Amino acid sequence: MPKPSDHPAPIAATKAHTVSHHGHTLHDPYAWLRDPGYPAVTDEDILGYLHAENAYYQAALAPHEKLTESLYEEIVGRIQQDDSSVPHKHGNYLYHWEFESGAQYKRWLRTDLDGKSSCLLLDEVALAEGLDYFRLGGFSVRDDHEILAWSSDTDGSERYTIRLKEIVSGRLLPDEITGTGGSVVWSMDGQSFFYSVLSEEHRPYKIMLHQLGQPASADTCVYEEKDPSFFAGVSRTSSDRFIVISAGDHVTNELRIIPADEVTAPPQLISARRTGHEYYLDDNGVRFLIRTNDMHRNFRIVAASFDAPEATHWRGLIPPSDHHYLKHHTCFQDFFTVEERAFGQEQIRIRHYAKPEHEAIEHYIEFPEPSFSAALGTNAEFDSAVVRVGYQSMVTPPSVMDYHLEGHRLELRKEQAIPSGYDKSAYVSERLIASSHDGTKVPISIVYKKGFARDGSQPLHLYGYGAYGIGMVPSFSASRLSLLDRGFAYAIAHIRGGDEMGYHWYQEGKLDKRTNTFHDFIACAEHLIAEGYSSAGKISISGGSAGGTLMGAMANMRPDLWSAVVAHVPFVDVLHTMLDASLPLTPIEWPEWGNPLTDKEVFEYILSYSPYENTREQHYPNLMVTCGLNDPRVTYWEPAKWVAKLRTHIQGEGLIIFKTNMGAGHGGKSGRFEKFREVAEEYSFILEAVGKA
């Protein structure tokens, strides 16, 4: 890609900085880009460098401004301007949200069941007025439907402020709590609620109880987590009978319960933390149902009485399976649901309660396509014979369905509208299988427009993540049509590190097996090339956060394959971050990446792949990198250091552009349309890189 002829790329200063561990000395000449006052960033040299990179980013994209604007108009043209959600019943009301035409933010409303009267609950448009950033966090209506509690973040730091209002009068209550995790969990009598508090290191470590009308300074600490590698959270069971306090990291947790009508009772521990043991609890009004991996990594479901919920009293309901990975369970009054993966496909199981248990009746919801994504939607009613489900595929837009247990019938309530027009019969979706370096079969989901030539001449975009057991589903994207309609195929590599094929898929892509993720991604690209979907140098790739680690590794390991690499908020300084226990997420991340502070082998393994450490003098593909100044998850200096180092090591004509959102965090800009400007910039960059602009 051509570089701006009249705007030289910024070159960051280097300053000697070394750290030594396990006999290794790390030279980090760009360590100065971390402001010592973080989360405040006030150093003029640092800000000057970030602003210079932003200016270069704009200069590089300026010649493609018409294309970017055209893409933006295309993408926005596929958005229903006056969109609204399907109302869901909660008590004697129907709740929903809506976008007014042209609005960036939602309005939340409710109506009586007869539809004769409606009430505005919350107006995000008004709350966001005059702000560069606004994101709604918690949204919780008290059980009597008279008071709303909500939280918001106005700078992207993910520190939420909780506020309350009377719904009918609209009067704001004086209660205001800052520095929270965002969620609000009401007591049964509605005179108090629970919330989490963030530490200075941005860790949710305390669960507090707030009494309405009292100052936050008078709030009671119900639970404090002492281990900095465990985060605390709070929720309520489906029957509303119990408050659940959780503490855990990525692979271990423990739960405590408090009766929702007796909030001052001491929390009762269910099962003490044991490394590698995860369990999750819900109740059906009569007993607890617990999903646990105590006997199998794919989990089983057990039952326990309210009087004796400890593990010694657990009784099996659904046994573990090598092929069925049980991901979530939700209790209703007469049945419960299990969201699971079987042979790589998402499924929803319905199981009725019965006595004795071996007579219980169960079945799976049947969906209309062979490859799809399905998950429970908003189900506020405990006593219900209808389950709200979200559904989509790579060719079917996101849809809301109601599953009626009587008759096992799916009712389509809404399919995302594409106002500019969309004919899903014009597109083809497939599931392919690649063979990785160790023989492991890796699934690929791919979509393209009919008539796509499989002769290696066409461009292809490949997406990947591969971390934390978060599987990438074959989902729909209206924005993606702008690539498909320009001759692209779009593929998702279901690489190890996610959980697409079960919990073992996650285990095989973490810790000392992290590099399997990278080899899987390369294998997917090579398989797509071998099958004629594209060719080396015609493939663009993207990933964000931990998927940014993948992008950095791909740029280092196989730069010959890619025309463009897009890395959003990329976790690329893995080694230095995992060596710094003062950072918000480092201790909780050690079960995912390993602890290089205490383990030499872990140190050397991370050193072998960390993108920042492995940047070297070579030809690199075109790179687009983004970050948020207020991001508490991947701190801004990680991508800043990486880009600074890349600029002094890149050979050839590859273009590197880097943008810092100065008033945002991990999720980028807020607002319904603003995020699509960034998508348009990304697509413009990709199209130029593959010669399709």
Catalytic residue selected from 85, 540, 545, 563: 545
600-604: long-range contacts (C-beta < 8 A, 24 or more apart)? 600/22, 600/23, 601/512, 602/511, 602/512, 603/21, 603/22, 603/24, 603/575, 604/22, 604/24
Closest CA to 268 of 290, 289, 250, 243: 243
198 vs 182, 183, 430, CA distance in Å?
10, 12, 44
The one-letter amino acid code at 625 reads V
Structure token digits, residue 186 = 């009401």
455 flagged as catalytic: no
The one-letter amino acid code at 304 reads A
DSSP string, 249-316: -SS-EEEEEEETT-TTSPPEESS---TT--EEEEE-SSEEEEEE-SS-TT-EEEEEESS--SGGG-EE
Cα(537)–Cα(565) distance, integer angstroms: 11
Count each helix (H run) and each strand (E run) in the chain, helices first.
12, 40
Q: What are phi and psi of 243, to 5 degrees?
A: -90, 135
Q: Order of strands, edge to edge, in the sheet holding 345-352? A: 324-331, 335-342, 345-352, 362-364
- Cis check: omega of the bond before 621, within 30 degrees of 0: no
Catalytic residue selected from 329, 631, 670, 684: 631
Structure token digits, residue 388 = 């709200």
6 flagged as catalytic: no
Cα(481)–Cα(427) distance, integer angstroms: 10
Cα(46)–Cα(13) distance, integer angstroms: 10
Which residues are paired to 346 by β-bridges?
341
Q: Residue 195 is inside which H or E element, if any?
A: strand 192-198
421 exposure class (CB count in 10 Å sphere: 0-12, 13-18, 19+): exposed
Catalytic residue selected from 96, 568, 576, 666: 666
Cα(399)–Cα(367) distance, integer angstroms: 12
Handedness of CA 579, 581, 584, 590 (dihedral sign): positive
3-state secondary structure of 164: strand
Backbone torsion region of residue 285, taken as left when φ is above 0, otherwise alpha when ψ lies between -120 and 50, otherwise beta:
left
The one-letter amino acid code at 565 reads V
Cα(436)–Cα(465) distance, integer angstroms: 16
Name the DSSP letter for residue 6.
Answer: T
> Which residue numbers are catalytic?
545, 631, 666
